[in-house]
Amino acid sequence: MTQISMKHVILAIAILWIPRSTSAQNLAEFEKNVTQFTLENGLTVIILKRDVAPVASFVTYVGVGGANEPVGQTGIAHIFEHMAFKGTTTIGTSDWEKEKPLLEAVNTSYKAWLREKNRPYADTASVRRLWIAFKAAEEQAKTYVVNNEFSQIIDRAGGVGLNAFTSSDETGYFYSLPQNKAELWFTLEAARFKDPVFREFYVEKDVVKEERRMRTDSNPIGRLIEEFLAVAYSAHPYKNPVIGWPSDIEAVTMDDALAFYSRFYVPSNMIVSIAGDVDPARMRAFAQTYFGDLPKGEPAPALMVKEPPQRGERRFVIEEESQPFFISGYRSVEATHPDAPALEILSDILSSGRTSRLYKRLVEQDKLALEAAGFYGFPGTKYQTLFVAYAVPNQGVSIDSIETAMEEELERVRSQGVTQEELSRSITQRRANLIRSLSSNNGLALSLAQNQSTYGDWRALFRNLNAMTELTPADIQRVAQTYLVKSQRTVGIIQTSGGIND
Amino acid sequence: MNHLKTVLFIAFIGVTGLATAQTPHDQLIFPEINRFVMPKIETFTLRNGITVFLVEDKELPIIQVDVLVRTGSFRVPAEKAGLTSMVGQVMRTGGSTAYPASVLNPLLENKAASVETSVGFTSASARLNVLKEDFEPVLPVLIDLLRNPLFPQDQIDLAKTQQRSAISRRNDDVSGITNREFRKLIYGVNSVYTRGTEYATIDAVTRDDMVEFHKNGFVGRNMTVSVIGDFNTRDMRRSIERAFTPIPAGTRQSLNLPEIGYEFKAGVHFIAKNDVNQSNILMGHIGGLRNNPDYAALQMMNEILSGGSFSGRLMQEVRTNKGYAYGVGGAYQSGILFPGPFFVSLSTASASTADAIRATIGEIRKMQDAPVSEAEVREARERILNSLVFRYESRADVLNEKVGYAYNGLPEDLFDRYIEDLRKVTVADVQRVAKKYLRPDAMQILVVGNPAEVGNQLAAFGTVNTIDITIPRPAQARAIVRGDADQGRMWATKMATAILPNGAPVNRLSYEGTLNQGGMALQTSTELRFPDALTQTITTPGGLVTISVAAGAGSQSMGPNSQPLPPVFVEIIEKQVAGHYVNVAQTLASTTVTYLGTEDLDGVAAVKLLVEETNTTWYLEPSTALPLRSMSKEFNAMAGMEVESVNLYANWTLADGVMMAYSETNLMNGQVASSQTITRHTSD
């Protein structure tokens, strides 16, 4: 048995009540290794020097996502992300002069087929004929394609982790290289965004359809989430799946993608973020050399749609073969709103770790759920977002009992608030997580870009945390009372057909 | 003079890299790469057999301690599968002698420290990750969890509940199904390598099993400790020695795994999943071992087949050219402790299942039938060699590699020797190993997909074997009861006469009454047609609902709307009708009834009769021989678990030659589920 001395008691109290500050990992220290500047055309560049190993990670972050897509073109941001790997007028082609007209022919014939197919009283024979013509044009265009040349250049140079993502708010492209090959990243990245060619556009759409089948159609949780967002939002494009609705994926053409790219891939809407063993002065020179002549263009259009007020609770039930699931989302606020930090803390108190409210009640004590959590900020955080609470029921447990227990726990927070211990714990964990996150180049590069994009300043990574130390338990209680309100929520349920769920 | 100045100026610009022109990728000249400085690793062994590795890393104020333990689920018999998962979980969730759960969780989480434990197939681990200033107070927590885990029953119960839930969900995710079932095709259905948890195996695990497993495995001679973080080696060495020395040495366990005895044969297997529009495909056969001298050539073959981001032949053909799949990849895996599989995996739209399989097998054959190009070998080698710098992205990478090699008994220069060999692999080598080790003629092809959409496509590859992945229910615990047969007969006759005084058979029994369920009182009118048909109308707030079950099918209607009843409900209703006391009474002569003695129920010595056919126990009032209650334990399909159902009977009333209990209450697992009162009944 350990002896608890007075010293330990005092230390314990100190640890509980005072937000822990740790030595080296504060903003002032970190900033010493960061170089930031903006080119004349508006491109923001952030460089973090970190020479632990002779490698570096490179990120291009674009402030465009599913939420910015035109009506009828959902999925286009993600399709363009795929296109960004197809090369340029010099990479990925054996003869651009010959390829160019063939690509135009592919586009024209696809549009002709699409138009005919979607006409009321469409003539089946014509549709078939136009499809065959399109396929023939596609075959022809293939002649000059050098498959995957873009990624092969990177692979051969020893690059790893080549990937990209599209979310509701933004699109990111990244990979890591041996540190002495930084210039390769600049020349390829600049080419790819100055001079993209949408070759194999329609074949790639098949790949995207497979991706949709895999992530959504054939995945019970994928299906639930897609339905959930569509019900939770009425007007705002957060309601649309990033992968796109099937008919939109089909209808998108090369022209649409080009128009989309021209509107949004402008330097003032882009951030370059580099972390690793690089010389910031050299990187700065490269940035000027390779990105300096990116045309400034017009500022990217802002999203004007505001989600109208929700008039009452929304609920839906999917009855199917798979095991039950419960998800609820409460209307809340965007990341830059003053209430956002308190909502983040609330999600920790509800579901971070084994001391969290939902874990203790639903998982451990009542054994209702295999997993129960709440988190702030889905599907994105740039606009009015959702505070989500979900649970995976244990076998034989009804959704009713899950919902009741969840509601009781949320009510406890609303009526009785949270403790200072819980609040301090959340802040300590966030600080520790921040420290732990500083050991990955790729993670750092992404994180700096994301904070720059969301808050307009990469320093938010540290400053947000410091702001949280000003919060009190009363603040947490207040946001629970304000936002976790029945009339402002959407509930989605998977019920096993023929099952026990009431 | 000017000329020299220009040359110097250009040279100056070149060196500093300022204002250079844009250079296309294939004309770039790169400077020398910076060197990675290998960290010093301090190694020592304690008296109790624990080997320790220490590496300083002062970049961040964190310390991590990893304990790798020489044990694993391969040691667990099939009938207790799941034991080790739960040991790994409960070691942490249950806390230890000095740090029980209620103390442990807040202690750690208030400091944002973590101590986690887990047990895998061939190793177990415990990890402590903590901010530097909390290292001294939290290290004892790790030690106590390793030495004195409490394994409290409540956390074991929780772990079992979670395991059961995981079992019930294991067929929801397509890739989970595919990976699991493919493994069985390679390693055998009942082997150590594919042992799966089932309800029965989870039930069979006891606390003693967990304690025993922990006691044998978590001893000094099985442990390797590695520490990395912001500390001074000398101080850390002292802390580790002090903390870990008290752990008993124990006996070192071996990592000997059984032979696999794989037989090459072609097979086509299908698993139906109705809620997908894609086929998930895994195909392959057994692979090999790490110590194969052809290892480097095989890695080259893997790289050409599916290396790089999109560079491999599989991606090129199946994704880029044909658009069949979002992702396709595979490898001939060379396992360290046991052979890995050779596999290719992909997902494709249901309609292109056969085409995608053909395209994939085609690419495998091509590797054998024709040599790969010099360019492919050169590029594959470039990819591997140029990315070698990523072998160590951190000091932790160096430490982990060293610990892994030591654990598996591998020589330290293993990787370097592989790179040496890789430099020498030729085009001929690649074709040679493809021919020797790949068997496209003897592939096990597994498809998980939508039967309606896939149709007959797989017949092209051979006779299709359909795999049933229905989750087995736990065997019902049937106690073999030895009872008095004569007494049983006697009481059975008494019960039959009590319920049906005239002895006349009852075909139809109708009654009216009130059903109390879920807080509502509903008027009902019921007609039972023995042995297994029913019609019931219920007056609900929303209107009159009629439920009808006959000849194995059922429906539910309200007004003009009618819906079929799911088979699972039909079955339950049929069982209820057949098990109704009136039906039991009139069929008692042809059933096996066992007398189980008496049991005190509220001061009455009730007579217990077990009717074996329905596995129901009847408790009779001794003077009237009328049932006081009946009890049965059954696996309830809706609940997904065994449920104890008890009916209480009171207010017996005679009409039309039939006795009916005008008060009846039903309890499920001890909780009142419903009750009913009857106002009148008739029969014929």
Distance between CA B30 and CA B370 in Å, rounded? 36
User: Shortest Cα distance from B634 to chain A (angstroms)?
Assistant: 14
Contacts of B297 by beta carbon, 8 Å cutoff, 6+ apart: B421, B425, B429, B430, B432, B433
Q: Give CA separation, B599 vs B393, B443, B496, B645, B650, in Å.
A: 72, 62, 20, 18, 18
**How much of chain B is helix, strand and coil, in % rounded to 5?**
40, 30, 30
Give the pLDDT confidence score for residue B674 in this predicted structure.
Answer: 86
* Single-letter amino acid code for the residue at A167: S
Q: Name the band, by pLDDT with cuts 50, 70 and 90, for residue B639.
A: low
- Higher pLDDT among residues B632 and A386, named by residue: A386
- A-chain CB neighbours of B129 within 8 Å are 436
User: Two tokens at A102?
Assistant: 């063939």
- What's the length of chain A? 502
Distance between CA B62 and CA B396 in Å, rounded? 12
CB A160 within 8 A of CB A139: no
Give the pLDDT confidence score for residue B317 in this predicted structure.
Answer: 85
Give the pLDDT confidence score for residue B216 in this predicted structure.
Answer: 96
CB A240 within 8 A of CB A228: no
Distance between CA A426 and CA A347 in Å, rounded? 9
User: What is the DSSP code (8-state) at residue A442?
Assistant: H
Q: Which of B198-212, B478-492, B657-671 has the highest mean pLDDT?
A: B198-212
Q: pLDDT for A316-325, tens place per residue?
A: 999 998 889 9
- B-chain CB neighbours of A15 within 8 Å are 110-111
Q: pLDDT for B52-69, tens place per residue?
A: 999 999 999 999 999 999
The neighbouring-strand residues paired with B289 are B335
User: Shortest Cα distance from A96 to chain B (angstroms)?
Assistant: 16
Q: What is the CATH number of domain B42-172+198-244?
A: 3.30.830.10
Give the pLDDT confidence score for residue A5 in this predicted structure.
Answer: 38
Give the pLDDT confidence score for residue B638 in this predicted structure.
Answer: 54
Q: Is B88 helix (H, G, I), strand (E, B) or coil?
A: helix
User: What is the DSSP code (8-state) at residue B100?
Assistant: B
Closest Cβ opposite residue B323 in set A148, A163, A207: A207
Name the class of domain A314-496. Answer: alpha beta
Mutate to test the interface with B, among A5, A208, A214, A278 (most CBs of B within 10 A): A214
- The rounded mean pLDDT for chain B is 90
Q: Do B638 and A159 touch (CB under 8 A)?
A: no
CB B459 within 8 A of CB B466: no
CB A490 within 8 A of CB A329: yes
Q: Name the band, by pLDDT with cuts 50, 70 and 90, for residue B605.
A: confident
Give the pLDDT confidence score for residue B1 in this predicted structure.
Answer: 40
Distance between CA B350 and CA B279 in Å, rounded? 5
% of chain A surpassing 90 pLDDT: 88
Q: Do B641 and A396 touch (CB under 8 A)?
A: yes
User: Two tokens at B241?
Assistant: 């020695």
Closest Cβ opposite residue B60 in set A25, A200, A431: A25
The residue extents of the domains of chain A are 33-93+145-291, 314-496
CB A457 within 8 A of CB A451: yes
Q: pLDDT for B309-348, tens place per residue?
A: 777 899 888 887 787 877 799 999 999 999 999 999 999 9
User: What is the DSSP code (8-state) at residue B584?
Assistant: H
Q: Do A53 and B394 touch (CB under 8 A)?
A: yes
Can you tell me which residue has the tokens 């759960």? B101
Q: Is B502 helix (H, G, I), strand (E, B) or coil?
A: coil
Closest Cβ opposite residue B131 in set A153, A394, A432: A432
- A-chain CB neighbours of B94 within 8 Å are none
- A-chain CB neighbours of B132 within 8 Å are 22
What is the torsional sign of CA B326, B332, B337, B338?
positive
Whether residue B480 has pLDDT greater than 80: no
Chains A, B: CB contacts under 8 A, how many?
257
Q: pLDDT for B118-167, tens place per residue?
A: 999 999 999 999 999 999 999 999 999 999 999 999 999 999 999 999 99
Q: Do A211 and B174 touch (CB under 8 A)?
A: no
Mean pLDDT of B207-231: 97
CATH topology identical between A33-93+145-291 and A314-496: yes
Give the pLDDT confidence score for residue A499 in this predicted structure.
Answer: 47
Q: Give CA separation, A62 vs A84, A163, A173, A271, A298, in Å.
A: 12, 14, 9, 6, 15
**Contacts with A, B 589-628, CB within 8 Å:** none
CATH topology identical between B42-172+198-244 and B267-402+412-466: yes
Name the class of domain A33-93+145-291. Answer: alpha beta
Closest CA to B128 of B226, B215, B49, B59: B226
Give the pLDDT confidence score for residue B576 in this predicted structure.
Answer: 86
CB B632 within 8 A of CB B580: no
Whether residue B482 has pLDDT greater than 70: no
- A-chain CB neighbours of B280 within 8 Å are 218
User: What is the DSSP code (8-state) at residue A299?
Assistant: P
Closest CA to B360 of B424, B432, B445: B445
Q: Give CA separation, B593 vs A7, B585, B598, in Å.
A: 72, 12, 15
- B-chain CB neighbours of A5 within 8 Å are none
End-to-end alpha carbon distance in chain A: 49
Closest CA to A472 of A94, A19, A152, A112: A19
Contacts of B160 by beta carbon, 8 Å cutoff, 6+ apart: B86, B202, B203, B205
**Contacts with A, B 562-591, CB within 8 Å:** 566-569
Cβ–Cβ contact B102 with A under 8 A: no
Q: Do A148 and B20 touch (CB under 8 A)?
A: no
CATH classification of B485-683 is 3.40.50.720, yes or no? Answer: no
Strand ranges across the sheet with B51-56:
B42-45, B51-56, B223-229, B62-69, B124-131, B114-119
| Helix (DSSP H) and strand (DSSP E) numbers for chain A | 19, 11
CB A47 within 8 A of CB A35: yes
Mutate to test the interface with B, among A293, A394, A425, A426 (most CBs of B within 10 A): A394
User: Two tokens at A189?
Assistant: 């990245």
Q: Name the band, by pLDDT with cuts 50, 70 and 90, for residue A15.
A: very low
CATH classification of B267-402+412-466 is 3.30.830.10, yes or no? Answer: yes
Q: pLDDT for A79-116, tens place per residue?
A: 999 999 999 999 999 999 999 999 999 999 999 999 99
Mean pLDDT of B257-276: 93
The neighbouring-strand residues paired with A175 are A58
The residue extents of the domains of chain B are 42-172+198-244, 267-402+412-466, 485-683
Give the pLDDT confidence score for residue B612 in this predicted structure.
Answer: 79
Q: Do A188 and B25 touch (CB under 8 A)?
A: yes
Mutate to test the interface with B, among A210, A357, A438, A495 (most CBs of B within 10 A): A210
**Contacts with A, B 319-348, CB within 8 Å:** 319-321, 323-326, 347-348
Distance between CA A73 and CA A245 in Å, rounded? 9
Give the pLDDT confidence score for residue B637 in this predicted structure.
Answer: 55
Distance between CA B71 and CA B84 in Å, rounded? 10
Transcribe A35-90 into DSSP letters: EEEE-TTS-EEEEEE--SSSEEEEEEEES--GGGPPTT-TTHHHHHHHHTTS-BSS
Cβ–Cβ contact B395 with A under 8 A: yes
Using CA coordinates, name the residue in chain B closest to A276. Answer: B393
Give the pLDDT confidence score for residue A10 in this predicted structure.
Answer: 36
Cβ–Cβ contact B249 with A under 8 A: no
Tell me the residue ranges of DSSP E strands in A223-358.
270-276, 314-320, 325-331
Say what the pTM is. Answer: 0.79
